[in-house]
A and B are shown apart, each in its own frame.
Chain A
Amino acid sequence: MQSTSDEVLIGRIANGDRLAMQVLYARYHVRVFRFVVRLVRDEGTAEDLISEVFLDVWRQAGRFEGRSTVSTWMLAIARFKAISALRRRSDEELDEDAAGAIEDPSDDPATALEKKDKSASIRKCLMGLSAEHREIVDLVYYHEKSVEEVAEIVGIPANAVKTRMFYARKRLAELLKAGGIGRGWP
């Protein structure tokens, strides 16, 4: 009933139903927050942005046409807000720093990347991916978005989605390899 129920909620929000807005917020605010915070890497900024995302939902609910799921629509709005915030903050340097930290031998790879804790190493390297790569990995693996849904959220063709995911995974493998964990791929 999730998709139908979401659409019903949006219909009621379009009518100005504040309670419906509260229900939708309760249902999705954590997930939207996690998507945004992974992009902007700052909890305060992410909190501000999710308020803006849901305010846009409130304002635009009457224009929602149901061509995508409500969650996909909201993630697309959230992404736009996050990217705009990143542009304002010129976050590229932060990404470079984060990626560099993963590869830096002084980051104690002997302990952090020892094979006995491969899971922690993978998570650490996932954090070291660029914003573009983090985004697609999260959308596919965590938010369980299909190729077509990712294409809609990110605004690129479906084939480009597959290619970007491939390169995100390839980059992850490179970071792991730099930390001493070879996976035999790619």
Chain B
Amino acid sequence: MNAINKEPERHEIEALLPWHAAGTLSRRDADRVEQALAGDRELARRYDLVREELAETIHLNETLGAPSARAMEKLFAAIDAEEARAPRRQRSFDLGGRLSELLSSLTPRTLVWSATAALVAIFVQAVVIAAVVVKEQGVASGPGLASAPSEGSFAVVRFAPQATANDISNFLGAYKATLVEGPLNMGGQLYRIRLSETKLPKDEVGKIVRQMQSESKVVGFVAAKE
């Protein structure tokens, strides 16, 4: 419990709080911030403000929607036009790349399109959980799920770095939740989960989210997703 007595040092730590909340600091800096927060109640209060801003920024961005098919059509029309003018020379066959893409192609985005949705959902979740865990360990990340269900009640979650596949699986099972989409953001750490297949009252969703927030061993961040 080291109180930060020097104002410049406190200012330096305070400047790092947004990145600490987002989980993008180096281990060394994160430890410094944690140590400072433990010994400085005012700094901890300010950190709560940062977390509040982070939650609302995610919420705001998640309401922005997505581009229409027009953007993609325009892009590929331009690419086709360029290729018609000057085709590129193919380089050598890249086995690693092919394998990598094959794995990527087995994403839930592809699979969710399938008619066997129930069986697929189980597989999808297992793949995503495994990918989430591997990513948190710094090796890999989850596949993108572009065609997730829209019916029901949802939340956005970031799993804790130390959470294992079992932890995540048990956590989802305990809340009868399913992973339906992700990663949602550039860092690849946010996932959308479905809390219920039917639309729950706002209060009930809030209650579930608050319960989830208390499970800090498994989740680093949870917020209701409308």
Contacts and interface: CB of A to CB of B under 8 A. Distances in A.
Say what secondary structure dominates the interface of chain A: helix
B58 interface: yes
Interface string B179-190: 000011111111
Contacts of A26: 109, 144, 146
Contact of A1 (B55, B82, B100): B100
Contacts of A21: 76, 79
A178 B203 CA distance: 29
Nearest to A147: B19
Interface string A136-160: 0110111111110100000000000
Contacts of A72: 186
Interface in A67-86: 71-72, 75
A20 B101 contact: yes
B19 A146 contact: yes
A176 B16 CA distance: 22
Main secondary structure of the interface of B (DSSP, over half): helix
B215 interface: no
B144 A169 contact: no
Interface in B39-65: 45-46, 49-50, 52-61, 64-65
A11 B148 CA distance: 29
Contact of B101 (A8, A123, A142): A8
A144 B221 CA distance: 13
Nearest to B54: A141
Interface stretch (B86-94, B118-126, B168-176): B86-94
A55 interface: yes
B141 A3 contact: yes
A43 B24 CA distance: 29
B181 to A, nearest CB: 10
Interface of A: 1-5, 8-9, 11-12, 14-16, 18-23, 25-31, 33-34, 37-38, 43, 46-48, 50-51, 54-55, 58-59, 71-72, 75, 119, 122-123, 126-127, 137-138, 140-147, 149, 162-163, 165-166, 169, 172, 183-185
Q: List the 7 closest A-B pairs by CB distance, nearest first.
A: A144-B187, A16-B88, A2-B141, A1-B140, A141-B57, A143-B186, A8-B97
Interface of B: 14-16, 18-19, 21-25, 45-46, 49-50, 52-61, 64-68, 70-72, 74-76, 78-79, 82-83, 87-91, 94, 96-97, 100-101, 103-105, 109, 131, 134-135, 139-142, 144, 146, 183-190
